[in-house]
A and B are shown apart, each in its own frame.
Chain A
Amino acid sequence: MRNHSNGGKADNVRPRPSAANRWWLLLPYVLFLAALPLVNRVTPTVLGLPFLFFWMLVATLATPLSVWLARRGDRKRGRA
């Protein structure tokens, strides 16, 4: 059914890249969930923000970064 020969590029036979870099995708889970017991507090305030809300904002902005890291690894592998 599927064609694995792909024009004779032997190193590209396996379509699925090995997935170590994809562990980065769990970073948001760690920041939002695993860290919660440590960050569920009002003080210290950062830039006036209560700590929990500051932390959540950091986690929100770290999410695109984690996807970027996962994708960077995938792209390297995909073109190897």
Chain B
Amino acid sequence: MNVATALFGAFMVLTVALGLLAVRGRVAGGGLAEWSVGGRSLGTVFIWVLMAGESYTSFSYLGAAGWGYNFGAPVLYVVAYMSCGYALGYVVGPMLWAYARRHGLVGITDIVAHRYGRPWLGAAVAVLATVCLLPYIQLQITGMGVVVSTISYGAISLDWAYFLAFAVTTAFVVISGLRGSAWVSVLKDILVIATLGFLAVYVPLHYFGGYGPLLHRIVAEKPQWLTFPGHASGGLGGSWFITTTLINSLTVVIFPTTVAGYLGARNADALRRNAMYLPFYNVLLYVPMLLGLAALFVVPGLVGADSNLALFKLVVDSLPAWAVGLTGVAAALSSIVPMAVFMLVIGTMWGRSVLGAIPRLAHRQKLSSQVVVVAAGALALLLTYTVPNTLVRLSLISYEGMAQLVPMLLLGLVWRRLTVHAAVSGLVAGFTLVCVLVFSGHDPLWGMNAGLVALAVNVAVALAVTWRGPRERDGRPDAEVLALDDGFPRDAASARGEDRPVRASS
């Protein structure tokens, strides 16, 4: 066993231990909310660490460098939508947090079921969201696979690396849920910041004699990569960038994993403070982009999936084994943390909204969630081994499909008149259109993100059905149905963090 592999193994053991330690001293049997949203007890620091941890995935190491290498400028959409989304989260996060807390909800399926007073709708949204999320689990499994087999210099085979990704993640998330993911995120964020910070300095110095010469060479020799539509990107121009950033920034704030982070917060102000600090993390995304560009000169001619390894080719080529191992651990954890939250969210949605709707299982929601976590992870692993391309194809509609939930969720929470018929009609129309456009090869459509086109149709249908369609008979008061309060501190005491439930008892 080489140094890098040994180091990797040691850190994987540490990861599981850390994940399990997270729930030490917590009362056993804390129920679903304790497991799914960490008992709504995480402060600003943990929320920051967790949300940075789950958004900075293996894509950041592999895809961002690959896109930088292949296309150049179009990769900037990642930074743009995450920044805009974090700013938007300043409003949406506290709103969802306060709503979920007031009504004891643990995820978006729950929120939808409560808003429209229809448990079946929660179950349906859970199924839809699962279809969109499963591909992400596979992306993390395969992402970790290639990283681990690369940094172990082949000592760990792809198939074993896939299994490790599943095993390590499942080992802690089943027991310790969101809290465990937050603890592992601490280790992850430290390693990511340290290794990327180091690479950002080291690679330009090692290969080019510093930033000046590297940037000079890029500007002189690769200008095509430096503006939209980038190099040979196949239509990823300015309007694609704008529409993609718009829709993704709307989607990221309701993405089930983001919402899990929101709901885990101790109070709404932790989320507001977090919205301020989180965007700083995006600066780190420039590192893999830059290294992808640098790799054009060092390892030219990478094509297809190999270009995703642009960053790691540089790392393996230029660093001693222990440093390669550490970078690999950081990248592996960037698969593990998001994957843990993806699995947790799927488990929660099913345990609460699908299986929880069955009377016999209604009082065992945490247990059924935990069983679904293992099942979902195992399914993604199995599909990775047997029919990898199925989930890859499905992943094309993941984000744009999830975007179609925005009107039902966000518009529904602020606009009482939106009926359940309207929200469902819009969702069905939007989701169908996404599938048709993406699978028939029409994304981007007229230079625009197909998901945004579908979202426009979605909203139009929802409005039309609201105005023309059947009226809703729901006798509950607005305060019960809408998200009117966003947990804003109303006096100095709550501003200091002693936030009370809004259902004031005085």
In the complex the two chains form, is B491's CB within 8 Å of A6's CB?
yes
In the complex, B394 has a CB within 8 A of chain A: no
Q: Chain A: which residue is nearest B239 at the CB level?
A: A36
Residues of A within 8 A of B238 (CB): 36-37, 40
1/0 contact trace for B76-105 toward A, CB 8 Å?
100110011011101100000000000000
Q: Mark A1-35, 1 if CB is under 8 A from B, else 0.
A: 11101110100100111000010011111001100
Instruction: Determine whether the beta carbon of B228 is less than 8 Å from that of A63.
Output: no
Q: Tell me the complex Cα distance, A26–B84, Å.
A: 8
- Contact assessment for A25 and B480 in the assembled complex, using a CB-CB cutoff below 8 Å: no
How close is B27's CB to chain A, nearest CB, in angstroms? 30
**Within 8 Å of chain A (Cβ to Cβ): is B457?**
no
B503 is an interface residue with CB less than 8 A from chain A:
yes
Given A2-B485, A2-B503, A50-B218, A56 contacting B79 (CB threshold 8 A)? yes
Q: How far is the CB of A1 from chain B (nearest CB, A)?
A: 5
Is B386 interfacial (CB 8 A cutoff)? no
Which residues of B lie under 8 Å from residue A59 when comparing CB positions?
Answer: 80, 83
- Number of B residues contacting the other chain (C-beta, 8 Å)? 54
Q: Chain A interface secondary structure, helix, strand, loop or mixed?
A: helix
Question: How many A residues, CB 8 Å from partner?
Answer: 46
User: Could you tell me if A2 and B502 are in contact, using CB atoms closer than 8 angstroms?
Assistant: yes
Interface string of A54-79 (1 = CB under 8 A from B): 00110111011011101100110011
Contacts of A16 in B (CB 8 A): 484-486, 488
Contact B490 A60 (CB under 8 A): no
14 A-B contacts (beta carbon < 8 Å): A7-B491, A15-B484, A16-B488, A25-B88, A32-B84, A36-B242, A56-B76, A60-B83, A61-B280, A63-B86, A63-B282, A67-B86, A67-B275, A78-B495
Known A36-B228, A67-B276, A71-B272; further 11 A-B contacts with Cβ < 8 A: A1-B480, A2-B479, A3-B505, A41-B227, A42-B226, A50-B219, A56-B76, A64-B279, A67-B275, A71-B275, A78-B495
